[in-house]
């Protein structure tokens, strides 16, 4: 007696039944039904033997598929992951391999920011992070910008369509000075204890800029606020000079020139001698030997008053400048847009 192709279908039925009842599913491989099928290949009529053998083999593969399906059902992967680029219940060996991974690293701006904050911490400054969404009062009102003042337009500010309780649009802060009123209030008790307020405020800021190698819509600033008794512009200049010399690890010259900000009086633009060419003139400093780095000044009495601090007793200084700029100079980075680009060739240079 020899098996026919039709008998394969019968055997398949039998195997399915056995498979369902078996405790140890893998034992199906040793089923007598299989053994019988294999032994019958030899006795099959010669002209049907090859086809018969192929059918038996197909059945064997089908049974193996039942087993591997079971395996993937049993493992603890989530049964469905619509984001996976393969059926999550498929046999792991049949999944195509994913792209190789590489270790990530800290973004260069954050790495440098840690260095910067470390220097200020050693100088006695506390650190408070700024917000990424703020309001009209902290962006302008608390900083002595009267309603409708043209200086408001200097800060190409992004606003939400949603409004706050006062009917004003929320603001993506265009500078970290939005935090001045908050830190002055938060640390006002220092003054009562005859200690100064000394805080640096790093944060992400946003401006509707025309983008180029030096202008980005999203960048980082570091604000500094120092208030105490008999604080002068000399203290401001010395503080920034010490910081910059420590950051660039070299002696530097600094200078200020008059400027205008509503929240400082007097206000300055602060420049340092070019750390690259030692004032000889190079591309970094546009051949001038000097680099204009940040805005600063003596905190306006109205800003102190607005935070509940008596400007007849206390004075203070503040500054705000781009962190991106500082880092670009340190590493000779030619385009500010690299930072937010996510370009791996750029980022890996700092890993």
By CB under 6 A, name the binding residues for ligand DAH.
175, 177, 223, 261, 263-264, 295-297, 318-320
Q: How far is the CB of 187 from ligand DAH (least distance, A)?
A: 15
290-299 sheet: strands from edge to edge: 126-127, 197-206, 218-228, 315-322, 290-299, 264-273, 254-259
Structure tokens at 288: 């001038």
Nearer to ligand DAH, 120 or 263 (CB): 263
Nearer to ligand DAH, 91 or 186 (CB): 186
Q: What single string gives the DSSP state of each residue in 234-251?
A: HHHHHHHHHHHHHHHTS-
Q: How far is the CB of 188 from ligand DAH (least distance, A)?
A: 18
Q: How far is the CB of 153 from ligand DAH (least distance, A)?
A: 13
- The CA distance from 203 to 75, in Å, is 45
Nearer to ligand DAH, 237 or 277 (CB): 237
Q: How far is the CB of 205 from ligand DAH (least distance, A)?
A: 7
Cα three-residue angle 167-172-173, rounded to 5 degrees: 105
Q: How far is the CB of 281 from ligand DAH (least distance, A)?
A: 26
Nearer to ligand DAH, 196 or 295 (CB): 295
Q: How far is the CB of 201 from ligand DAH (least distance, A)?
A: 9
Instruction: Indicate the SS3 state at residue 317.
Output: strand
Q: What single string gives the DSSP state of each residue in 253-314?
A: -EEEEEE--TTEEEEEEEEEE-TTTTTS--TTTTTSSEEEEEEEEEEPHHHHHHTT--TTT-
Count of CA atoms in the C-beta half-sphere (13 A) of 290: 11
Q: How far is the CB of 174 from ligand DAH (least distance, A)?
A: 7
- CB environment 144-178: b (16+ within 10 A), e (fewer): bbeeeeeebeebebbeeeeeeeeeeebbbbbbbbb
Nearer to ligand DAH, 95 or 149 (CB): 149
Q: Which of 183, 198, 126 is nearest to 307 (CA)?
A: 183
Q: How far is the CB of 300 from ligand DAH (least distance, A)?
A: 9
- The CA distance from 332 to 335, in Å, is 9
Nearer to ligand DAH, 173 or 275 (CB): 173
Nearby residues of 153 by Cβ (< 8 Å), 6 or more positions away: none
Nearer to ligand DAH, 40 or 175 (CB): 175
Nearer to ligand DAH, 275 or 320 (CB): 320
């Amino acid at each position: 007696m020899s098996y026919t192709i039709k008998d394969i279908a019968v055997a398949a039925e039998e195997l399915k039944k056995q498979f369902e009842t078996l405790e140890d599913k893998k034992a199906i491989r040793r089923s007598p039904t299989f053994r019988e099928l294999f032994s019958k290949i030899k006795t099959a009529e010669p002209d049907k033997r090859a086809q018969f053998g192929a059918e038996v083999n197909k059945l064997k593969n089908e049974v193996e598929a039942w087993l591997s399906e079971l395996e993937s059902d049993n493992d603890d992967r989530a049964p469905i992951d619509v984001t996976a680029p393969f059926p999550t219940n498929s046999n792991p060996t049949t999944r195509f391999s994913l792209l190789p991974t590489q270790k990530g690293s800290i973004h260069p701006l954050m790495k440098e920011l840690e260095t910067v904050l470390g220097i200020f911490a050693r100088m006695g400054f506390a650190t408070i992070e700024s917000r990424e969404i703020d309001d009209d009062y902290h962006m302008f009102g608390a900083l002595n910008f009267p309603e409708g003042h043209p200086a408001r337009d200097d800060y190409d500010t992004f606003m939400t369509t949603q409004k706050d309780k006062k009917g004003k649009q929320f603001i993506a802060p265009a500078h970290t000075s939005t935090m001045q009123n908050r830190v002055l209030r938060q640390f006002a008790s220092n003054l009562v204890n005859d200690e100064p307020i000394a805080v640096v405020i790093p944060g992400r800021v946003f401006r509707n800029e025309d983008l180029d190698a030096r202008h980005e819509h999203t960048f980082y600033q570091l604000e500094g606020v120092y208030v105490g008794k008999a604080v002068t512009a000399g203290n401001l200049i010395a503080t920034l000079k010490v910081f910059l010399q420590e950051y660039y690890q070299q002696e530097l010259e600094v200078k200020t020139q008059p400027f205008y900000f509503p929240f400082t009086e007097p206000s300055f633009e602060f420049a340092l001698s070019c750390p690259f060419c030692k004032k000889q003139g190079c591309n970094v400093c546009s051949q001038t030997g000097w680099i204009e780095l940040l805005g600063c000044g003596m905190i306006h009495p109205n800003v102190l008053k607005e935070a509940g601090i008596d400007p007849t007793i206390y004075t203070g200084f503040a500054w705000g400048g781009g962190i991106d700029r500082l880092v670009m100079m340190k590493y000779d980075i030619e385009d500010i847009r690299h930072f937010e680009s996510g370009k791996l060739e750029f980022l890996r240079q700092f890993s």
